[in-house]
Structure 1
Amino acid sequence: MARSARRASSAAEALVRPQMRLGRIDAVAVVAELRRLHERAEDPGVERMPADDEIYGALLHAERNAPALRALPQEAQREAALHRVRLWEYVRERADVHQARAVADARATGAEWLHLAPALAVKAASAAYNKARRLQAVLLTDETPGTPPVRRTPEAVRDAERRRARCQAAEQREQEAARQRNHVLMPVAHRLLKQRADLVPDEDAEYWLDEMAEVLPSCVTPTQMVSLERYLDAALRALARLEQGSARSIATTAEAHAALAAARQWQTH
């Protein structure tokens, strides 16, 4: 008898192959749909069904009271069962995420892998470490939406951690650059507005200077900083157009000229 050409799958294949995930869903809304089906069936126990955000308890209630749905058409019964399947998958996936975070917290408090072994239902410290790394793959995928699931192997987890570290470093560099720019922005804007009486703006420039003057006193949040930056940039562009049209400086004093020059230097950086 010829041997089958189909090879037996290895035990590690499930770890190497990226696993499909349900991902984030509006679980509360799904529970609410499940509740409505039980209400339609006049389930006598529906009033004891836990709240929509108590997903685990609501699922247990729906499982115990599934026979009450027999009063509904088969299509509605099937819909309710599929809701339960989807919600249990969601709970299972979220459990992996939260368990990974709990392991990280335990390690941060000094728990050894040997201590974690019984809690993770394994027998050895090495097994606890490997299981935690597989859980970490789920956590990394969960925290980077829109990316393919991380394979459940130590190598894939290390690669994902390196990618995340590079992304975090780039984000920190961008934030630091923004802080540096904002550190200069406030005094530049103050200085320009202080010399406003010695500028000769047109209506367009006046509008943007008014916007600057309104936001500047309470400019604290990142959103306000972005607004101030946008208003200053628009004011400088309006003043530049005015100068180009008149072929003369719109600053009438040395102090106003210096304030305008400082603002334009900020604009080019």
Structure 2
Amino acid sequence: MAKKISKSRPKRLPVRLGRINTTAIADRLRELHRLGRDPEFERFPASDELFLVLQHAARTASELKQPDDVPVNVVGEAAVLRAKLWQHLREQADAGQLMAVEQGRAAGVPWHHFNEALCVTSKQGAYQKVRRLKAEQVREPYERRSPETAGKHEVRMLTEERAERARVVAQERRFPLALRIGRMLVEHQDDFVVTTMSEYWLSEIIDTIDSRETALERANFSTFIEGFVREIHQLARERNQPVTTTDEAHRALMLATEFTYQAQPEFPEPTSRSQAGDPLPHQRGRTHRGRPAQ
């Protein structure tokens, strides 16, 4: 006898409403109560008083009538809209309750003080319920609402935070070198052939080179140089032509390239521009980007 192959049921995906237009839904609910001849319709609350709207709708739902000349199911649609608004409030309540507990914990409130508020009987129960609330806020559609889900996301966030801190520390060490290379790129900004993206990164370098106050800003400055290098080399490959119009710009680009792909680029010995016969920076006329000076 052939072995029977059992087919497991596909896992049902949990769904959250997320952002909805509660005002429009409340307006429609009011219209349905008008059509259904709500006996207390003149007391129907304003649409932004969502909880009062739901209380009124629940209290008078049994009094609604289906008009003969209205094609929609007035009572049925009103019930669906009420259910949707209650679900919205439930999601908002979960997020608000979680925030309240986290703020209390940050203020030093022990877990067992939340027992009554969370309808649990022990500090462990309070902790587990908060973990489930947190899981509801961070889970993906295919994940369960469980403490394990919250823990997994916390581990991921901690890992990402550690990686970001390590990146900032490493890039901040390189900042003096990045600043030196950045000034060279700015000095020869008119001598690069650029596209929209490489010009964007060059503009970031120009705009931020003298305003790097925090560790994160100093770390990100290196990424601007790296972005410029990658984009301008991509242009060179695509067009198979030089992307600099002067030797000085070429040297600046080579140093920026070494900075991007090597730990420590080698700077050439400084040479007096006036001795080399080149005009000094304040004497050199600005040119259109991508065109050599005439």
TM-score range, shorter chain: 0.5 to 0.7
| One-letter amino acid of the counterpart of residue 24, structure 1 | G
Q: How is 1:105-254 mapped onto 2 (pairs within 5 angstroms)?
A: 105-122=103-120, 124=121, 126=122, 128-151=123-146, 157=147, 159-173=148-162, 175-176=164-165, 179=168, 180=171, 188-196=181-189, 199=191, 201=192, 204-205=193-194, 211-212=200-201, 214-219=203-208, 230-239=227-236, 245=241, 251-253=246-248
Check 1:60–1:245 CA distance in 2 against 1; reply closer, same or farther (3 A cut): closer
Tell me how large the CA RMSD over aligned residues is.
4.3
Alpha-carbon deviations, 1:1-38, whole Å to 9, x = none? xxxxxxxxxxxxxxxx9995544251614333322322
Displacement after TM superposition at 1:140 (Å): 1.6
1:75 maps to amino acid: N
- Select the residue among 51, 60, 74 that pairs with 2:55: 60
Shift of 1:176: 4.2
Cα distance 1:26–1:240, how it changes in 2: closer, same or farther (>3 A)? closer
With structure 1 as the length reference, what TM-score do the two structures score? 0.64
User: Cα offset for 1:185?
Assistant: 6.0
Structure-1 separation of matches of 2:14 and 2:236: 56
Secondary structure, aligned partner of 2:45: coil
* Counterpart AA for 2:97: Q
TM-score by length of 2: 0.60
Distance 1:61 1:170 in 2: 48
8 Å Cα contact 2:202/2:224 also seen in 1: no
Give a deviation string over 1:206-261, Cα, whole Å, max 9, x none: 77675555444444899x9788865553234435677x657x985424xx444222
SS of the residue corresponding to residue 144 of structure 2 reads coil
Q: Can you list the C-alpha shifts for 1:106-148, whole angstroms capped at 9, x where unaligned? A: 23322234433333345x4x2x431441242132222234341
Q: What is the aligned partner in structure 2 of residue 81 from structure 1?
A: 79
Q: Number of residue pairs matched?
A: 235
> What is the Cα deviation at residue 46 of structure 1?
4.6
**Do the aligned residues in 1 keep the contact of 2:114 with 2:126 (CA within 8 Å)?**
no
Cα deviation code 1:48-79 (max 9, x no counterpart): 43343432121012123325531445722111
Which residue does 2:64 correspond to in 1? 69
Q: Distance in 2 between matches of 1:193 and 1:51?
A: 58
Amino acid paired to 2:28: E
Q: 1:102 aligns with which of 100, 109, 118?
A: 100
Whether the 8 Å contact between 1:59 and 1:84 is mirrored in structure 2 is: yes
The worse-fitting range, judged by mean Cα deviation, of 48-57 and 208-217 is 208-217
| 8 A Cα contact 1:208 1:234, kept in partner | yes
Moved more, 76-85 or 229-238: 229-238
- Whether the aligned pair in 2 keeps the contact of 1:239 and 1:250 (CA below 8 Å) is no
- Is the 1:27–1:55 Cα contact (8 Å) retained in structure 2? no
In structure 2, relative to structure 1, the CA distance for the partners of 1:207 and 1:52 (3 Å cut) is: closer
Q: Say which SS state the counterpart of residue 205 (structure 1) adopts.
A: coil
Does the CA-based 8 Å contact 1:205-1:235 persist in structure 2?
A: yes
1:38 aligned partner: 33
The answer to whether the Cα contact below 8 Å between 2:184 and 2:252 also exists between their aligned partners in 1 is yes
